[in-house]
Structure 1
Amino acid sequence: MTEDLQDAIEERDIRAAAQWLAEHAPHEIADELTRLRAVDSALAWRLLPKGRALEVFEELDATQQQELLGGMRDHQFAELVENMDPDDRARLLGEAPAGFVQKVLAGLSPRERRMTAELLGYPADSIGRVMSPEIISVHDTTTVGQALTRLRARAEHAETIDLLAVVDASRAYRGTVSLKQLVLADPEQAVIDIADDDHPIGHVDDRAEDSARLLQEYNLTGLVILDLEDRVVGILTVDDALEIIEQADSEDFARQSGSLPSAGHYFSSSVWRLAGLRVVWLFVLILAAGLTVSVMQLFEDTLEAVTALALFIPLLVGTGGNVGAQAATAAVRALALGEVRPSDVVRVAWREARVGLLLGLGLGVVALGIGSIVVDFPVATVVGISVIGICTWAATVGAVMPLLARAIRIDPAVISAPLVTTLVDATGLLIYFLVAAAVLGL
């Protein structure tokens, strides 16, 4: 077995490369193609059998797909995009330049073009954009036997056969029926009699992430999607839901680390692009850090009077920032999972204030002990009390800010840990110097 596709391609050992491609799963091949140079990736791609090439192509991110398509002849290009699932094609085109979109749509058959155009007509972050329109539906007057016959006839072009939608004469939703239910039911029985009308559903204008998490929460294999008139128009399957959740989590991780989210594989992004994604938030954070400088300048006389106070600024700043970051991360996660809502802001603030107080009491004792060893007891007392106040404040602010962001329709992850940390740094120093002034009589 060939251990490394890259070595085989670089040595132009075609037989070894073909063997490696034959022995690995599509997602593994897609990952390796992304790691290769563009010319080497194109060579490896040409070694894939036609059917397997499509499987690998659908595992690639949109950027890599565009690069591969750009190097293909027109007939190869048209054949590949024609055979893609409509939802995968819409995902590709949603991130592509207008000229590329027009080229793809022009090369599609009328049926595929119509389905793709319909999906692209929905908002970019809606479930309508990423659902599959290839859902099998049956009329409510259909018998179980007739439904099974229809399923066999449509199975090849359906996104899934595990879940069927039951509709009336106007295609309005009446319920869902699973393949297991059909197999076990009496063939002469009407499907409406076994249909589940309480099965969770989604609407085309719902947020894609919300629909995906709904499917995950209820442990469903599929979520039927309706239009604004409650007509069945598509389905979200569990594999697509997992991709949506993965992308949403990746975006949240990026924002929580103080960076703009990057669409695509790490190795498919240039150094300039990676720097550009990160520099925006760094500019914001360095400006916000100016608050810390302002606080230091405001209490310059206090520092001159008791220089020992300066020794503990890194300890206090670091502790407050860490507590705030923990609370912010917990709040963003709870919001994403639907465990809390913006209306819970008071309950969350009260809860986190108590958590911060408990943390502050524990850490304050440690800080008091450290301070007593390094400096005199009065200054150590200032440090201990400040830790308690800073931890309580940091936990409260860190948890509340994401909820307020959601309330004004800002992505909670934008209120990232670095931003919370920077804010807590400045306000924490304010608490520190005010405590010092009160305890030391400055």
Structure 2
Amino acid sequence: MSRGTVPELLERNEITELQQWLAEHQPHEIADEIARADELGAVLLFRLLGKDEALTVFEELDPPDQQKVLSGLRDHSFRELVEAMDPDDRVRLLGESPAKFAHRVLAGLSPPERATTAALLGYPEGSVGRFMTPETVTIRQYMTVSQALDRVHDRGADAETVYTLLIVDDQRHFIGTVSLRDLVLGSAGQRVSEFAETDAPRVKATDDAEDAARLMQDANLLDLPVVDSEDRVLGLLTIDDAVDLIEAADSEDIARQAAATPWSGHYMSASVLQLARSRIVWLLLLIVAATLTVNVLQFFESTLEEVTTLALFVPLLIGTGGNAGAQAATASVRALAVGEVRTGDILRVAWRECRVGLTLGLALAAIGMVLGTVFVHVRVAATLAVSLIAVCAWAAMIGASMPLLAKRAGIDPAVISTPLVTTLVDATGLIIYFLVARAFLGL
């Protein structure tokens, strides 16, 4: 058994113990420790791996961590590793690398691999073309099962996946797909056309990669064919890349909803300055937005002076309203991301959330009425109760509508973050509260 954690073993430079730890753990566990380590530690761990295992572990790393490892390797090892990468993984690495590093990667590739990589880099950023694998096996619909399996046997070693086989005509136009399972279970003399899925989903190389990944998720696909504008087969989007795309998109949404700038890389290897930089801009913007609340309080200062007990319930009211708005905004962003709502549903979503807010407000108003009666008197308690109903309905409606409006305007819905919705609802909730107070208390 290894003595101590990996960081401790690295600090003591216990090479034998590190080798033993690496031998006892799976590639994804090793990749996590490499991602956590600094550059020197990451390179040391990687160099202790065997050649075949090193490639497997390398493929488990995210691009920033791959770059960290490659930066510490000598030219021969560097070239050998980038040459062995799948083209789509290589393009993903280059897309997140500085120009100098990208040039070193391209210079270390053989001419065929460089040409394949350059072709994928030619597609727009964020498109399926950047994430697809061109290394596929294509077959003809007139082939027999035996002929198709022979083709898989001959060319499968050079393909990233053979589970989904693409059926094309002589000009590589897409005809359909067939699964390897169907061929293996079929009779040798049967035609491939008998198993072909001619209505299989496909996407264009210029389509949005996240949308394609969501399509795979919805349709339960292992691979998704990618074609050009003339319906010629270019490659496949594989399930592992689809999962990475969805994970990256969800991570970005979570960061934006928390009012932070998305960043890549392992949290434990990020510096304090890097983490602070990802959050400071939004905090500054929210400080500016929070001045709305200050202005509302100043405007209703005379109301507070006449009934000072109203101030007791300001934190409760704006906190409840902010939370209701945040819940609705989170639900709306999530529903948009998975395709459960569209921008055209904005009125239906707003009305639905308004009713949800009213329901929540009625339940909370009962509690507010009791609290208000205990701490002050019935009229202030009634003011609080009515305000809670109105604020919850308003907050839920606004929180759910803002991401949909952002999407329609071409803005990432996640930018309409929870703190931003909360800040807006705080200010407007106070206006509702003081207007209700004036009506109920005759101010």
Q: How does the TM-score come out when normalised to structure 1?
A: 0.98
**CA distance, structure 2, for counterparts of residue 10 and residue 275 of structure 1:** 27
Residues 335-374 of structure 1: pairs in structure 2 closer than 5 A: 335-374=336-375
Q: Matched residues, percent identical?
A: 58
CA displacement at 1:190 relative to structure 2: 2.8
1:106 alignment counterpart: 107
Partner amino acid, structure 2, of 1:132: T
Partner amino acid, structure 1, of 2:132: M
Partner of 1:363, secondary structure, is helix
2:28 alignment counterpart: 27
CA displacement at 1:43 relative to structure 2: 1.6
1:4 alignment counterpart: 5
Partner amino acid, structure 1, of 2:114: R
**CA distance, structure 1, for counterparts of residue 239 and residue 161 of structure 2:** 10
Residues 7-406 of structure 1: pairs in structure 2 closer than 5 A: 7-406=8-407
**CA distance, structure 1, for counterparts of residue 252 and residue 159 of structure 2:** 30
In 1, are the aligned partners of 2:37 and 2:269 still within 8 Å (CA)? Answer: no
Offset from partner CA, 1:153-209 (integer Å, 9 cap, x none): 111111111100101111111100000111223333332332101112222122211
Partner of 2:369, secondary structure, is helix
**CA distance, structure 2, for counterparts of residue 397 and residue 384 of structure 1:** 20
CA displacement at 1:141 relative to structure 2: 2.8
CA displacement at 1:135 relative to structure 2: 1.3
**CA distance, structure 2, for counterparts of residue 89 and residue 64 of structure 1:** 13
1:417 alignment counterpart: 418
Offset from partner CA, 1:66-89 (integer Å, 9 cap, x none): 122112111111000000111111
Q: How does the TM-score come out when normalised to structure 2?
A: 0.97
Offset from partner CA, 1:208-238 (integer Å, 9 cap, x none): 1111111111111111111222111111111
CA displacement at 1:306 relative to structure 2: 0.7
1:408 alignment counterpart: 409
In 1, are the aligned partners of 2:259 and 2:282 still within 8 Å (CA)? Answer: yes
Give the number of aligned pairs.
Answer: 442
Partner amino acid, structure 1, of 2:256: R
2:430 alignment counterpart: 429
CA displacement at 1:420 relative to structure 2: 0.5
CA displacement at 1:44 relative to structure 2: 1.6
In 1, are the aligned partners of 2:39 and 2:72 still within 8 Å (CA)? Answer: no
Offset from partner CA, 1:363-389 (integer Å, 9 cap, x none): 011111101111111111111100000
**Unpaired stretches in structure 1, ≥5 consecutive residues:** none
In 1, are the aligned partners of 2:325 and 2:425 still within 8 Å (CA)? Answer: yes
In 2, are the aligned partners of 1:317 and 1:429 still within 8 Å (CA)? Answer: yes
CA displacement at 1:267 relative to structure 2: 2.1
**CA distance, structure 2, for counterparts of residue 286 and residue 8 of structure 1:** 44
Partner of 1:289, secondary structure, is helix
Partner amino acid, structure 2, of 1:16: E
**CA distance, structure 1, for counterparts of residue 234 and residue 154 of structure 2:** 19
**CA distance, structure 2, for counterparts of residue 35 and residue 99 of structure 1:** 24
Structure 1, 4-13 or 244-253: larger mean CA deviation: 4-13
Offset from partner CA, 1:24-78 (integer Å, 9 cap, x none): 1111101111222322222222111111111111212212211221121111110
CA displacement at 1:106 relative to structure 2: 1.5
In 2, are the aligned partners of 1:139 and 1:167 still within 8 Å (CA)? Answer: yes
CA displacement at 1:4 relative to structure 2: 2.2
Partner amino acid, structure 1, of 2:130: R
Partner amino acid, structure 2, of 1:121: G
In 2, are the aligned partners of 1:63 and 1:268 still within 8 Å (CA)? Answer: no
CA displacement at 1:8 relative to structure 2: 2.4
**CA distance, structure 1, for counterparts of residue 226 and residue 344 of structure 2:** 28
- 4+ aligned runs moved over 3 Å, structure 1: none
Offset from partner CA, 1:274-314 (integer Å, 9 cap, x none): 11110111111111111111111111111111111111000
Partner amino acid, structure 2, of 1:241: A
In 2, are the aligned partners of 1:64 and 1:268 still within 8 Å (CA)? Answer: no
In 1, are the aligned partners of 2:91 and 2:121 still within 8 Å (CA)? Answer: yes
In 1, are the aligned partners of 2:366 and 2:385 still within 8 Å (CA)? Answer: yes
Q: What is the root-mean-square deviation in Å for CA atoms of aligned residues?
A: 1.2
**CA distance, structure 1, for counterparts of residue 293 and residue 152 of structure 2:** 66
**CA distance, structure 2, for counterparts of residue 15 and residue 89 of structure 1:** 32
**CA distance, structure 1, for counterparts of residue 398 and residue 230 of structure 2:** 42
Partner amino acid, structure 2, of 1:51: D
**CA distance, structure 2, for counterparts of residue 106 and residue 10 of structure 1:** 34
CA displacement at 1:273 relative to structure 2: 1.4
